[in-house]
Structure 1
Amino acid sequence: MKKEDQDITLLETDVSSNKDFKKDSYKTTNVNILLNRVRLDKKRSFKKRIIISFFLVTIITALTVYFIV
């Protein structure tokens, strides 16, 4: 004689495990990783601004020296 209750519970556990698998498959990102990325982007943009301003000051100084002398 078969136990019908056992068959039903096995089927229900398979469905529930599939639901858990679907939930776990979503990709999540840690907030600290995002904040660190923003900080690094700010540092990079600040370095770029410093380098560009240094080159502009150098070019302006070179041109004024050339035209004065």
Structure 2
Amino acid sequence: MKKDDQEITLLNSDIASNDNLKKNNFKTTNINILLNRVRLDKKRAFKKRIVFSFFLAALISSLTIYFII
């Protein structure tokens, strides 16, 4: 025979331990991951600037050649 009180106590303790785990489990991120993300973002931004500058220079040079000739 099972005791009803014991089953309720076990359920309550499980819920209490889950609440404690949720409260104590803070999201932490490794600083190296953050730094790598910043480096990758800088590289992407630099590549975008290079591509944009190349297309802008090509457009300007093609327009000058078109109007000169």
Please give the range of the TM-score, normalised by the shorter of the 2 chains.
Answer: 0.5 to 0.7
Q: Tell me how large the CA RMSD over aligned residues is.
A: 1.9
CA distance in 1, matches of 2:52, 2:45: 11
> TM-score by structure 2 length?
0.68
* Matched positions, count: 53
Partner of 2:31: 31
Partner of 2:61: 61
After TM superposition, list the pairs within 5 Å mapping 1:8-27 onto structure 2.
18=17, 21=21, 22-23=23-24, 25-27=25-27
User: Structure 2: any 5+ residue segments left out of the alignment?
Assistant: 1-12
Note the C-alpha offset of 1:20: 6.3
Aligned AA (1:43): K
Note the C-alpha offset of 1:39: 0.1
Identical counterparts, % of pairs: 63
> TM-score by structure 1 length?
0.68
The 4+ residue runs of structure 1 with deviation greater than 4 A are: none
CA distance in 1, matches of 2:26, 2:50: 41
Aligned AA (1:57): A
